[in-house]
Structure 1
């Protein structure tokens, strides 16, 4: 593992990685061996949380406690679902220089019977649905291949390799169900990542010289837009209800779920212009526009984009996030429903990082260990939380 990748992973854990560094990390993760190492790092904080008082390495114990105390002073009033991210970064640095993690897991976790059950669910998730212009539906399931008239899929990604010189717009729809994610490459080279429970409307090919328009009907999508200078200056537009997002070539995220009262547009790099009726908002990197559907109001703020886009890599990173909002994400990721018996618990805030490869019960145990909830009961597709 290179020093650069080590540095990027630590920044990733601390949510300080730039968009360029995340791209490098994504390339590195294409190797299955690298992915295994990365998953170990994500679950090590669970291990520490459950076994901090049971291992004997005084040096590491001292480092972790110093970092935890520092974090607690800065976040005195916040409940922390898992160990401090800064402590986790310290652990990561140690892991890179020794075999500490393997020794720690063998000698301590197994004795305490708390080894997290992390599984790769890639073969179990439902497939996306491609709807053609004539209404025909194609199930794009992991492991299956599809190819027809310049369109191909391996069950994880859908690619359009068509000529842009079209004189007619033919729309397709891609629907990603709960519990799944999917990647799409449009005919102009624009890449789109669709999160769980999302639907995108887009043309098979764009008309040369005209705006390249797609519609996010609902859900969440991350766009990496092919620059306009490669397409005779044609703008790229994402339309979501009455909002129009115009770009020349950039990376941004749009979140607009049907059951939520707010929509979020977040710029990662480049520039975009969000238009809605008589309102216009120019966004710079790290800017976010929040639209409150109930009040019909817009709000502009600066955010840590890592927390907004990490989902496309199977990670949910949150800071001062309410439990009720975390449960919404888990509901989509694992296709389950939650029954939160004490609604006041939903207002409790957490800091942490979750991986989609984690077992849902492991995550619930982590929430329980924080002391916020007393118990949970898994009943088929409904999880009751007390």
Structure 2
């Protein structure tokens, strides 16, 4: 990597010092230099996200703006490195980045009350077999003879160490509210990550020799299933309101929210069979099955799984998503309502990768920075108003 390429990388990561910014500004004074800058960024970064060409003039203005400042503004790092399989992808929401620290970012977001809309966190409601409910939150421990929690995860006793099941199988429910997420390790060793506004039903202990079966009543869950070879060949099934998933030791994501028209099942590793009525389809890794509730078909397509499972890595991954879909995702995580005063704003398209730990104000500011003045956000109590 040449010296100028190193400086470009440092600029994109907001790490370039004053002298390095001067060199970069000098580079952009002629067409050849602009071509070098443009080609390097597009080749090394934008191609990974299939993003469109950014506005180079904004990059120039950003450099000049930073050179004029005697003190660096507080950094807001909206990117992180995310490992997907064996590769590491440098995540860049380029449009947001190149506009940040320009006059557009200084545009007010509107009335802000960040103390009312808070970032999501680990929390859940555990419903025991006798109907009792336990609130699971950070800093609060819970333990019985079969399950324990430190407030951030729920772990069931390995079935080999539990008492033999007598009579009917007993079930627990784990409910994740809006603004929450949680992790549970079932008695067979299967690991499940649950997203906001999700409910899972599962046995306290799986019976030997019987199919291991859980039910995703609604919401989104990522499963890392303990293989059948470790359980005397017992298969693992995931039921939803519209399909049955037959699992053979694998990792996959299921998104089945009540108010979503389409349910999506994405395979990361292994093999699964999806059944909807008499229709049966088998998924390969990096494929997604979509089921429209108004149709009996199962549509299979290739997909970048890193986008679909970004939430378990603490990220929002939006690739040319309309604002209406984006706000549904954000409303679940930040437990807020959304109002579009101008229906046309629902179709504004945004691409970027943002951290779920960011405040809702920062997320809205970064989305707004790419809209060239098209979007105006206002926060009123726990409602986001888009004008």
TM-score scaled to structure 1, two decimals? 0.73
Counterpart in the other structure of 1:347:
347
Please say if 1:116 is aligned against 2:89: no
Counterpart of 2:141 (choices 135, 145, 150) is 145
Counterpart in the other structure of 1:133:
129
Cα pair 2:350 2:367 within 8 Å, conserved: no
Counterpart in the other structure of 1:298:
298
The change in CA–CA distance for 1:156 and 1:73 in structure 2 (over 3 A counts) is: closer
Q: Distance in 2 between matches of 1:358 and 1:277?
A: 42
**Structure 1 residues 14-37: Cα deviation after superposition (integer angstroms, max 9, x where no partner):** xxxxxxxxxxxxxxxxxxxxxxxx
Return the offset for 1:134. 1.4
Runs of 5+ in structure 1 lacking a partner?
Answer: 1-40, 82-86, 88-105
Q: Distance in 2 between matches of 1:183 and 1:238?
A: 17
Q: Distance in 1 between matches of 2:69 and 2:325?
A: 30
Cα pair 1:123 1:142 within 8 Å, conserved: no
SS of 1:187's partner is coil
SS of 2:324's partner is helix
Counterpart in the other structure of 2:386:
385
Larger Rg: 2
Higher helix share: 1
SS of 1:127's partner is strand
Q: Distance in 2 between matches of 1:244 and 1:295?
A: 16
**Any runs of at least 4 consecutive aligned residues in structure 1 with deviations exceeding 6 A, and if so which?**
59-63, 71-77, 106-110, 121-124
Cα pair 1:262 1:292 within 8 Å, conserved: yes
Aligned length: 318
Q: Distance in 2 between matches of 1:241 and 1:140?
A: 26
Return the offset for 1:374. 3.0
Q: Distance in 2 between matches of 1:72 and 1:124?
A: 29
Return the offset for 1:320. 1.8
Return the offset for 1:265. 0.4
Q: Distance in 2 between matches of 1:370 and 1:68?
A: 18
Q: Distance in 1 between matches of 2:175 and 2:211?
A: 23
Counterpart in the other structure of 2:165:
166
Counterpart in the other structure of 1:308:
308
The change in CA–CA distance for 1:281 and 1:58 in structure 2 (over 3 A counts) is: same
**Structure 1 residues 85-142: Cα deviation after superposition (integer angstroms, max 9, x where no partner):** xx9xxxxxxxxxxxxxxxxxx98888475643989x9997362000011110000111
SS of 2:249's partner is coil
C-alpha RMSD over aligned residues = 3.6
The change in CA–CA distance for 1:239 and 1:55 in structure 2 (over 3 A counts) is: same
The change in CA–CA distance for 1:363 and 1:226 in structure 2 (over 3 A counts) is: same
Counterpart in the other structure of 1:20:
none
Counterpart in the other structure of 2:265:
265
Return the offset for 1:377. 0.6
Cα pair 2:158 2:189 within 8 Å, conserved: no
Counterpart in the other structure of 1:210:
210
Q: Distance in 1 between matches of 2:68 and 2:209?
A: 63
The change in CA–CA distance for 1:383 and 1:224 in structure 2 (over 3 A counts) is: same
The change in CA–CA distance for 1:75 and 1:156 in structure 2 (over 3 A counts) is: closer
Q: Distance in 1 between matches of 2:70 and 2:150?
A: 38
Return the offset for 1:264. 0.3
TM-score scaled to structure 2, two decimals? 0.73
The change in CA–CA distance for 1:137 and 1:371 in structure 2 (over 3 A counts) is: same
The change in CA–CA distance for 1:147 and 1:278 in structure 2 (over 3 A counts) is: same
The change in CA–CA distance for 1:380 and 1:210 in structure 2 (over 3 A counts) is: same
